[in-house]
Structure 1
C-alpha cells in the first residue's frame, strides 16, 4: 500500500521508525510494520508552525521543511479555527505508546473505535494492523472527516469514517473490543463504557485515552463499571470537541486589583509535570500564562478557569485572585497532597467508574481521591 509521492519518503519513514524503536517507544513488531508501511506525509499534506505559518507540500518555499517535519517525532498542528489550533497529528512516539497500550490481538476479530479522526493517520495504522472492517473512527468536524476519508482511501484503507459527537461513540458498530481516544477528556463518557464488549481480564473491553495530562487504560468490569491505571509520563492532547469549532480557549478575565497574600505553592511547582497532571485532573480546562525569568523558567503566572475565576502568582511569592471562587486555594490543597505523598507521577494514580460516579485516586482506591464530573 505504498502511495508515497515524495522522493526518499520510504527511507525517511524508515529512519523515523528506527528512532522510535531505539528510544523504546515502539516494541511490538506488528505495530512496527504498520508504522513502516503507512505514509504519514500522505495524511499531513500541510501543518502550521508555532507562529501560525502554513508549511505545505504544495508550496515550493516550504516543501523541504514540510518533508523533514512529517518524518520527525513531532506533533504537528493541522487545523485551525478562528486562529486557534483545533486538530493535530500527534507525536508518533506517543501514538506508538497508545497503540501498544491497547493490547490488541491479531486474528481475534477485535473491533476498535477511535475517537478523533483528525488526519486519518492513526486510523490507517489501526487498519493496517487489524483490517479496515474492524476499525471505526469518528470526528465532529465535517472538513476533517471528509479529508480523512479521502486520504485513507488514497492509502488503500477503508475503515468507517463517521461524522459524529465523539462523546456518544458510535452505536452502529458496537460492541468494541477497544476504544482509543486521540483527544483529551476530563471524564469518561458513559456511552463509551456501554459500547465496550463484555468479558473478563484482558478479554474485557478496554479504553486508552488521555484523561487530563496523562494516558489512562480502563477495563470494563460491569454494566456501568470500569477501573484502570494511568501510564507513566505525560500526554498532552487537544480537548474532545462536542461540536465543530468548540474547544477554543476562552478570553482571559480581568486581572484582580489589590494586594496579594502569601502562598505555600511555589512558582517552581507550576512547571512540574507531575504536579500539573494532578491539577489537570482536579481542575480541567485551565488556561495558563507565564512570565519567564532569565533561566527561561516561570517566574510569575496567571491562571483562569471557564467560570471566570482567576489567580495571579507574583514573582515575590504572593497571589491575588478574582472571580466566583478561590481557584488558587484548590491548587494549594492539591500541592499539599502532592508533597505529602512524595510527589507522585501519573503511574501512581488509578481510576474507578461506577453508576453515576467517577474518581481518580492515588496509590490505592482507598487513598486520596478526587471526584470527576461525569460526561453525559
Structure 2
C-alpha cells in the first residue's frame, strides 16, 4: 500500500523548522524556507537504529517510528559497510549551523564534500540554485541513491563520485566549500579550488573551522563554538570504516589521572580529537547516565580501557590513554578553553592548531 505523506511530512517539516528557529539554530529566513520545503523523508527512506535494526518508511511495522525520527533533530545512520556505520543524515541543527556559517549570497558557487543522502545538497540547491551546487562522495552506492532522491525531490545539482579530498577542479573556483565529514588535516587541493575571498568550512576535532586561503599553499582560520561530530572522510571504498575494536588489554592497570567525566566534556573532546585524531569510543554508563568506564581505540591497533575503579590498562603500539592524559593536563592548565578560542594556520611548516593567537601554544594536525 502506498501512503501519501505530502501533508503529514510538510507539517512535520514546518514543526522541525520552528523548533530549529526557537533554539537559535535557524535565523536566516532563506534557510528556514529550505528546511520547510525540502522533503527530508525522501532522502532518508530508511535508517539504522543503534542496534542495527533497519527502520523503513516502506515497512508498516516501522513506518510511524521512521516518520517521527526523520523529522526530529537527530542524526540517522543511512549506510553501513561491513556492519559499521559509514554514512548518515546529519543532525538538522548542526546542518543549519553549518549552512548559516557559510554566509552565502545569491549566485555563489558551492562545493560540498560528502554527499551522503543528498539532503544537504538539496538544501543548498534550494537556496542557491542547482547549477551553483556540486557535491561529491566516494562510492557509487552512496552517490547513486543520492542522485535519484535529489531528482525525486526536484533538484539536479552536480553529483560526482570520487575522492572528496581532491575536490572537483573542473567546476572550480568555489566561493564556499563545505565539508560534511570529519577531517584529520585539511586537503591542500580544496584550498586551491577556492576564490581569493572564499573559505572552507570543515570539522576538525569535534568543532567547525572556517578557513580562508591567504596565498599559494597558505591559509588561516578560526574555530566556531559548539560541537560537530562527523564520520571520517573516505579516500577510497572501504577506507574510513571505523576500525574494529582490538582485543581488550590483559596487562596490569595503573591509576588514571584523566577522570571519567572528562570524556563527556565536549570542550576537552575537541582538544583530544586534535591531539589524537581517529579515535573510536565506547562508554559504560550508570543509572544517572554518568560515565563510569570507557574503551578507546585507534586504527593502528592501540587500545585503552578505563575501569570503574579509575584505573586504566593499555595495549598496542602506542599509549593512547597517556596521550589523552597529557592533552587533559594542557586543557586544565590553559583554563579549560572552548573551541572558539582556537585557530588554525596552514603553511610550509604544516598545519597547526593554536590557542588564542598564532604565537600561542600549538599542536600539529595529523600526528
Under TM normalisation by the shorter chain, which class is it? Answer: over 0.9
User: Which digits, 9 at most, give the CA deviation of each residue in 1:214-258, with x for residues without a partner?
Assistant: 111111111211111111111111111111232222232333334
RMSD over aligned Cα atoms: 1.6
**1:133 pairs with 2:126:** no
**In 1: Cα distance, 2:55 partner to 2:366 partner:** 39
**In 1: Cα distance, 2:286 partner to 2:118 partner:** 40
What residue is the counterpart of 1:277 in the other structure?
A: 270
What residue is the counterpart of 1:366 in the other structure?
A: 359
Displacement, 1:356?
A: 5.1
Contact 2:251/2:314, CA 8 A, preserved across alignment:
no
What residue is the counterpart of 1:10 in the other structure?
A: 10
Displacement, 1:102?
A: 0.5
Residues 267-346 of structure 1 aligned to structure 2 (within 5 Å): 267-346=260-339
Residues 37-56 of structure 1 aligned to structure 2 (within 5 Å): 37-56=37-56
TM-score by length of 2: 0.95
TM-score by length of 1: 0.93
Range moving further from structure 2, 361-370 or 305-314: 305-314
**1:234 pairs with 2:227:** yes
**1:245 pairs with 2:238:** yes
Range moving further from structure 2, 295-304 or 151-160: 295-304
**In 1: Cα distance, 2:294 partner to 2:68 partner:** 35
**In 2: Cα distance, 1:161 partner to 1:110 partner:** 17
**In 2: Cα distance, 1:248 partner to 1:217 partner:** 26
**In 1: Cα distance, 2:350 partner to 2:318 partner:** 24
Runs of 4+ in structure 1 deviating by more than 4 angstroms, as ranges, are: none
- How many equivalent pairs are there? 364
Distance 1:33 1:258, change over 3 A: closer
Range moving further from structure 2, 260-269 or 25-34: 260-269
Which of 186, 189, 192 pairs up with 1:191? 189
What residue is the counterpart of 2:116 in the other structure?
A: 118
Contact 2:205/2:269, CA 8 A, preserved across alignment:
no
Counterpart secondary structure, 2:194: coil
**In 2: Cα distance, 1:50 partner to 1:309 partner:** 25
User: Which digits, 9 at most, give the CA deviation of each residue in 1:78-122, with x for residues without a partner?
Assistant: 11111111111111111000000011112xx31100001111111
What residue is the counterpart of 1:98 in the other structure?
A: 98
**In 1: Cα distance, 2:168 partner to 2:327 partner:** 36
Contact 2:301/2:317, CA 8 A, preserved across alignment:
yes
Displacement, 1:311?
A: 2.1
Distance 1:313 1:166, change over 3 A: same
User: Which digits, 9 at most, give the CA deviation of each residue in 1:198-229, with x for residues without a partner?
Assistant: 1xxxxx11011111211111111112111111
**In 1: Cα distance, 2:122 partner to 2:282 partner:** 36
**In 2: Cα distance, 1:289 partner to 1:63 partner:** 30
Displacement, 1:294?
A: 4.2
Contact 1:141/1:245, CA 8 A, preserved across alignment:
no
